[in-house]
Amino acid sequence: MRVLSNMAGRAGAFVDRAGGSWLSRTSGNGEVRGQELAILRRLALASSAALVVVPTGLSFITSPAVALPVGVATVCAAFLFSAVGSIALSRQRPACGPVEAVVVEHRDLMLEAACGLVLLFDPQGNVTAAGGRDRAEFLNWMRDPSGRGFVEQVHVSDRILFLQAVDTLRQGRDALGVDLRLERSAVVEGNDQFVHIRMEMSARRDSEGRLTAIVSQSRDISYDQQLREEAARKAAEAESANDAKSRFLAAVSHELRTPLNAILGFSDILSGEYFGKLENNRQREYVGLIRQSGAHLLSVVNTMLDMSKIEAGRYELLLEPFPIEASIGACEAMLALQAKEKGLTLASRVQRGLGDIVADQRAIQQILINLVGNAIKFTDAGGAVTIDAAMTDGMLKLSVSDTGIGIASERLASLGQPFVQIQNDYTRRYAGTGLGLSLVKGLVALHGGSFAIASAPGEGTAITILIPFDGSGAVAIQPPVDVSRPVDFPPRLKHDLEMTEKRKEEEVNGPAKAKIA
């Protein structure tokens, strides 16, 4: 059996080589089709059996000397005739017929199985065929598009978009997408008159590149459009509320500072006894309380005003070189008495040869005062508050640490938000608005720096800020100054300036106009 199998395999290989050589010479393009080789294999198999059967049958009729050559010649002739005839018939059949049938079948399948509504347009935008998995759902509310211009279904304001898309495909583009609004044929209560759709359009061209058809796939995006509009509306409302809040804080701060300045001024006059002696120490104590409360309220108002400026993007930084030691020394001088009265140790450590930093000195001073003031506020008697300043990789590193009450780790995330103060049974006795750290974070961000806080309950707090030493990260909002323009003193209102400039222009142009007339 193995010998017969090997012989059959070799015979088949021989038929393939010989038949392939012959078929390649007879075909016009030199290609050998597998179907023709299969025909030759079957005929060779049948002929090999006939080479035995036909001579044997003829030997019963005539002598073996005549039967053998006649039988072999007959079989060979039949093989050649059958091979030529079968191959000729196979080549006359259209080979692309089954392939085209499969392509058409797949095309119909995609037309029906594709999601959404699938439409075929001619180059003028008229619908030639409709399909799609959701065709019935679309046709429930729209007019039947078959055999008419699709532009009739589109909202009047969006028709130009559809026509532009068709024209773009006609000019050579292969595909594009467009958002349209389609009009409902009948508006049911609770439904909008127009439906938002997303239409993906693809061009079909002939061998010369001319547009022959357009395939479009549409899906309903009304819900997506509703979500986008809702998100835009909420964003606009939030922005409006934020602007209103900023304007309110700015207005309130401005209106409060005027009477507060009067309170502080008159309380200073009373405490100085410029217009007569106070009768007793209780009056002096009350005047001092008025002065202290007014100063605290003015500080809160100023902080609120600065916060509103930062949030509105209108806080202007005045960048200038200055020694950081001077700012730290001024902060110590301002808060030393407060620390001493509370029984605290206030100290500073500044790296030698630190040099001048380029920043807004007032902002840096405000950062230090807020950080040190908070540290003193939340540190009990006997504790210590330390200010450190050093240079690290081109950044000024300022650290304010204390031995105070500390903050729980789960509450650190909310620390620094406007009007948020960490409260518990122990810290309720500490007054404050929660704006100090929020202002510090805003000022540090304006300088292009970073803010970090580390704390643990009962172990104190350490706040570290990093600010570019050369001021390269600062956001400076400084309008250009026209040095050639004269400065009015005393300053006048903008309306008066505009009226003056207008009158000057009329005076200059008046004679010229009269001369031309």
Give the model confidence (pLDDT) of 200-228 as tens digits: 999 999 888 889 999 998 988 888 888 98
Q: How far apart are the first and last CA of the chain?
A: 124
Residues 349, 389 contacting (CB under 8 angstroms): yes
User: What is the pLDDT at residue 96?
Assistant: 43
Using alpha carbons, select from 356, 246, 264, 362 the residue that is nearest to residue 304. Answer: 246
Average confidence score pLDDT of the chain: 76
Provide the pLDDT for residue 12: 61
Could you list the beta-strand ranges (E) of 247-324: 319-323
Of 120, 122, 124, which is closest to residue 107 (Cα–Cα)? Answer: 120
What is the reported pLDDT for 199? 92
Query: pLDDT tens for residues 241-291?
Result: 877 777 777 777 777 878 888 888 888 888 888 888 888 888 888 888 888
Among 394, 259, 228, 396, smallest CA distance to 324 is for 396
Q: What is the pLDDT at residue 401?
A: 93
In the chain the domains, ranked by start, together with CATH numbers, are 1-92 (no CATH), 100-225 (3.30.450.20), 228-297 (no CATH), 317-468 (3.30.565.10)
- Specify the DSSP element, H or E, that contains 450: strand 450-456
d(CA 379, CA 344): 8
Q: In 349-454, where does DSSP find H-type helix? A: 361-377, 436-446
Identify the pLDDT of residue 490. 38
Crossing angle of helices 64-92 and 34-59, in 10° steps, is 160
Rounded distance between C-alpha atoms, residue 293 and residue 300, angstroms: 11
C-alpha to C-alpha distances, 62 to 59, 70, 269, nearest whole angstrom: 5, 10, 155
pLDDT of residue 389: 93
Phi then psi for 119, rounded to 5 degrees?
-125, 145
Which residues in the chain come in under a pLDDT of 50?
A: 94-106, 419, 423-428, 477-497, 504, 506-517
Q: What is the dihedral of CA 411, 417, 420, 421, to 10 degrees?
A: 60
